[in-house]
Chain A
Amino acid sequence: DGGITQSPKYLFRKEGQNVTLSCEQNLNHDAMYWYRQDPGQGLRLIYYSQIVNDFQKGDIAEGYSVSREKKESFPLTVTSAQKNPTAFYLCASSSDTANTGELFFGEGSRLTVL
């Protein structure tokens, strides 16, 4: 079945450590996204990528980094520079430029900083 796979589902990190969240899709979608969700909050865009080897900052990119070396993969690194990284991280993709708001989401990764 086509879809988006995020791993790990749960991750605990000590302060000062970098962590990388994986996102893989087999939907053949060009665009991929990373969102962050805090309790009782809407989704906030971290980074997005329209095509391979290109990505753009979203509203809250500070403290995060991404790469897009393959169409299927869009990993997110949460660096030690991110001051409040505990959150629910959602990877998404969209199929075409006409309907960029029609997103398919992975199951998410919950990061907790101890």
Chain B
Amino acid sequence: QKEVEQNSGPLSVPEGAIASLNCTYSDRVSQSFFWYRQYSGKSPELIMSIYSNGDKEDGRFTAQLNKASQYVSLLIRDSQPSDSATYLCAVNRAGSYQLTFGKGTKLSVIP
């Protein structure tokens, strides 16, 4: 059974702070890792993908992957109220069409 675990939150951070979202996965052969943002009542939107160990930066977002520890994280620098959403972690095997999602972490950025 492939599982993706996330802290459901809510995670509250003040505006301008760094938000750190964490995700662990059980399937050791997972190769691809994704972070989706979902605003309340809306559909998910891909914000980051990471395929290799280490860090990947895109604007205020940094994804971090440690395959040995089966751990992937998302850092949001200079958090803004508009970042308030649920963040879904997702993983799959190379070439697989079956993406496994975590239940999401709800982030609240306090002005």
Q: Which of A38-46, A66-74, A75-83 contacts B (4 or more CB under 8 A)?
A: A38-46
- How many residues of B are in contact with the other chain, CB < 8 A? 25
| Chain A nearest Cβ from B39, distance in angstroms | 11
Chain A residues within an 8 Å CB radius of B63? none
Closest to B98 in A: A45
Chain B residues within an 8 Å CB radius of A99? 32, 49
Q: How far is the CA of A48 from the CA of B98 in the complex (A)?
A: 8
The reply on B69 being an interface residue by CB < 8 A is no
- How many residues of A are in contact with the other chain, CB < 8 A? 27
Q: How far is the CA of A94 from the CA of B102 in the complex (A)?
A: 19
The reply on A56 being an interface residue by CB < 8 A is yes
Which residues of A are in contact with B by a Cβ distance under 8 Å?
31, 33, 40-45, 48, 50, 56, 58-59, 90, 94, 97-108
